[in-house]
Amino acid sequence: MKPVIALVGRPNVGKSTLFNRMTKSRDAIVADFAGLTRDRHYGNGHIGRREFIVIDTGGFEPDAADGNIFHEMAKQTRQAVAEADVVVFVLDARAGVSSQDHDIASYLRRLGKPCILAANKAEGMREGAQLAEFFELGLGEVHGVSAAHGQGVRSLLELALETLNLPEEDDEEEGEEIVVKLAVAGRPNVGKSTLINTWLGEERLVAFDMPGTTRDAISVPFERNGTKFELIDTAGLRRKGKVFEAIEKFSVVKTLQAIESANVVLLLIDATQGVTDQDAHIAGYILESGRAVVIAINKWDAVDAYQRELVQRSIETRLAFLKFATLLFISAKKRQGLGPLWDAIAQAHRAAVCKMSTPVLTRVLLEAVQFQSPQRGGMFRPKLRYAHQGGMNPPVIVIHGNSLEHVTAAYMRFLEGRFRKEFDLVGTPLRIQMKTSENPYASKKPD
């Protein structure tokens, strides 16, 4: 799973600027779910092939009194630190050490979590002499950075990732046993734990922990009808014997990591509440990640005909971008509809890793063009020549031809529909890329 870096520090030391620099974006929030305070934001970043999640927090006052905004911000920051693998303690190099910095340092020392000091706004300063006072915080060496100018940020990130001693990711070997990684995602109290418990109980499986290298990421391996699955938990599984006693706790980081790690995501929605903002946010992130998805409306037995109609209407309007996904109505508590759910999960995985031959793709493309030609763009009509597969999970189809920049979004949707029908691509996003051939005569002047 992706490592998590939390940025903490008192207000106005430049945490948000550093966050934007690390995520290479000025608007890098990937999951700002309703129900969480606005002071904790999550973004994706990478250095080369090494990816990570960054959490930006509000100004931190560890001893803030109950009932004020600073207490709420402190609570959010403590949650962010708990979710993180490594903490970057951001300081103001120009303002020097404050009493509040000492309070935060004391809190971080007690936790014993890997911590790196970053003295921001250090442009033009000599690291040795002018940053020496920060050593009194007792958290080791201080690293001068300038988030506004990008100085020292890359080396700071490299140091943070090195601190975790993460193993290098190996490419999967051919012939390796196929294990479908399944994540169950959804808001708190939609029935994730009930569903997982029902699955494990029905299959008479032993749940056990598989601790990760840097955090206790828990996955449950099990087998059904000859197919091996690995359930990636977002519901807070506990150790064997106490698996589902904990109250379900929603963690954005766990959800994002589970989705990123999965082959298939089961999006669970509460029929008694309909599709909420949080549901739509999670669904959007699943689509953005390119994961295969199945939508299950839980507690279907607990709603009347009128409520069912409202739920179906809210799905059509708020989750229209997941039309390719199978939609099922279940009751985890009463064990209703769980058979078709497994069939849909298996179908979504097959579609995500489907192999599409170049001759068949090209035939479908040319038949589609013959049935309906693309619109002319200015002087040119796009010429679609052939197609081949460019990737799996999600499937990527690359189309080659001339003047393809003029292909409209509506025509792309038309092509997507033809490809989906031919290869039975139910439950997976499909990405189509257009590659225009160079015109050898474009640069030549007419005689």
392 occurs within a structural domain = yes
Task: Read off the pLDDT band of 144 (50, 70, 90).
Answer: confident
What letter does residue 433 receive in the DSSP assignment? E
Which range marks the domain in which residue 425 is found?
A: 358-436
149 and 8 fall within a common domain: yes
Q: What SS3 state is found at 384?
A: strand
The per-residue pLDDT for 141 is 85
Shortest CA distance to 45 belongs to which of 82, 76, 18, 14? Answer: 18
Domain limit, last residue, from 109, 139, 163: 163
Please enumerate in sequence order all residues whose Cβ is within 8 A of that of 268, keeping only pairs 6 or more positions apart, or say none: 184, 185, 186, 190, 191, 192, 195, 296, 298
Task: Indicate whether this model's pTM tops 0.85.
Answer: no
Identify whether 173 is part of a domain.
no
Residues 314-323 have a mean pLDDT of 88
444 in any annotated domain: no
Which of 163, 191, 210 is the last residue in one of the domains?
163
188 with 235: CB under 8 angstroms? Answer: no
Q: How many domains does the chain have?
A: 3
12 and 155 co-located in one domain: yes
Residue 147 belongs to some domain of the structure: yes
The phi, psi pair for 290, rounded to 5°, reads 75, 25
Beta strands in 109-207 (DSSP E): 115-120, 142-144, 179-185
Which residues does 225 contact at the CB level (< 8 Å), separation at least 6?
342
* 328-346: average pLDDT: 88
Residue 260 lies in a domain: yes
Q: 50: closest CA among 122, 154, 137? A: 154
Q: Is residue 366 part of a domain?
A: yes
**Where a domain ends, among 327, 352, 377?**
352
Same domain, 19 and 148: yes
Place of tokens 């959804």: 186
Q: Are 206 and 151 within one domain?
A: no
Residue 447 lies in a domain: no
* Among candidate residues 246, 304, 271, the one with its CA nearest the CA of residue 186: 271
169 located within any domain: no
What is residue 205's predicted lDDT score, i.e. its pLDDT? 32
pLDDT at 292: 92
Type of residue numbered 286: I
Residue 81 has pLDDT above 70, yes or no: yes
Count, residues in the chain = 447
Do residue 135 and residue 192 come from a single domain? no
pLDDT interval class at 166 (50, 70, 90): low
| Residue 214's pLDDT band (cuts 50, 70, 90) | very low
Q: Once rounded to an integer, what is the mean pLDDT over residues 214-219?
A: 41
CATH of the domain at 368: 3.30.300.20
Q: What is the pLDDT of residue 294?
A: 93
Residue 194 and residue 333 share a domain: yes
The token pair at 236 is 């807070």
Determine which of 171-180, 199-208, 258-267 has the lowest per-residue pLDDT on average.
199-208
Split at pLDDT 50, 70, 90, the class of 40 is: low
Whether residues 374 and 405 share a domain: the answer is yes
pLDDT of 42 above 80: no
Domain shared by 195 and 272, yes or no: yes
What pLDDT, on a 0 to 100 scale, did the predictor assign at position 165?
A: 67
User: Are residues 190 and 211 part of one domain?
Assistant: yes
What tokens were used for 340? 């078709």
* Mean pLDDT, residues 139-167: 82
- Please state which of the ranges 103-112, 126-135, 184-193 shows the lowest mean pLDDT: 126-135
Helix (H, G, I), strand (E, B), or coil: what is residue 130?
Answer: helix
CATH number, domain containing residue 61: 3.40.50.300
Residues 243 and 347 reside in one and the same domain: yes
Average pLDDT, the chain: 76
**pLDDT class for 293, splitting at 50, 70, 90?**
very high
Residues 339, 428, single domain; the answer is no
306 shares a domain with 374: no
pLDDT above 60 for 244: no
> Taking 70 as the threshold, does the pLDDT of residue 113 lie above it?
yes
pLDDT single digits (tens) 364-396:
999 998 898 888 776 777 888 888 988 888 889
